[in-house]
Structure 1
């Protein structure tokens, strides 16, 4: 089962995250998500456990627990939604507001 963990301290590393869950069962992976540019934690991560019953117990007991001064949130991870092809919300239409005036006199693009 894939588990989403949020509100993590920025000091929590992958091994720390793994340790929080190992007492409940086998952890196949634990990953704190980091910013691509700064390599700093983004404050959330994912844990994968082989036994669904153990994972459910970990979720129920760790959700709201205080870890390094922060109350973490622990839930079943939702599947990643497919992204649309529009570049993350930006229009693919090159005639967007960048063209200067929009007075019907044509555009640069």
Structure 2
């Protein structure tokens, strides 16, 4: 049974899969690598995966290569966590860990909710905005860096809808 290992702390630059494979070349052809790249830029996203034949070989490789320098950065090796239900590939895992502190508040326009069919929140609320509790409204606050801009946009939108 094959075992997947997570390779972390890879440099975020243009790296070839062959460069990464060369690090583990001493382990033989039974070891395969997969480098996760950004779709737009083609640069490495900072992680990849290594597939080995069994647990014993995985433990040996982790012990041997964890902290090994690759392009002047120490790589991190550990057993990969299993995919969660509903994910099709590992490239979808990273976007979920996006830092939301710099993202402006979501658009509450009803037209955008109709377009976003995957939005579970719009289905639960049913379009009734008055049922939100104060705890929920306190949790959804705009980023203070964008609050003044957001207020201006709200005023512009209100002026457009009244005309």
Superposition TM-score, scaled by structure 1 size: 0.70
1:55 aligns with 2:58: yes
Structural mapping, 1:14-29, within 5 Å = 14-25=17-28, 26-27=30-31, 29=32
Structure 2: stretches of 5+ with no match in the other structure: 88-95, 97-117, 130-139, 141-153, 155-163
The structure with the largest helix share of the pair is 2
**TM-superposition CA deviations, 1:12-68 (whole Å, max 9, x none):** 3211222222312421x3111011222211011001012432221111111112211
Rounded Cα–Cα distance in structure 2 between residues aligned with 1:61 and 1:13? 22
Is the radius of gyration larger for structure 1 or structure 2?
2
Structure 1: stretches of 5+ with no match in the other structure: 101-109
Which residue in the other structure is 2:6 paired with?
A: 4
Which residue in the other structure is 2:44 paired with?
A: 41
The structure with the largest strand share of the pair is 1
Q: What is the number of residues matched between the two proteins?
A: 94
Tell me the C-alpha RMSD between the 2 structures.
2.8
Rounded Cα–Cα distance in structure 2 between residues aligned with 1:76 and 1:39? 25
Superposition TM-score, scaled by structure 2 size: 0.49
Rounded Cα–Cα distance in structure 2 between residues aligned with 1:14 and 1:66? 16
Rounded Cα–Cα distance in structure 2 between residues aligned with 1:76 and 1:59? 8
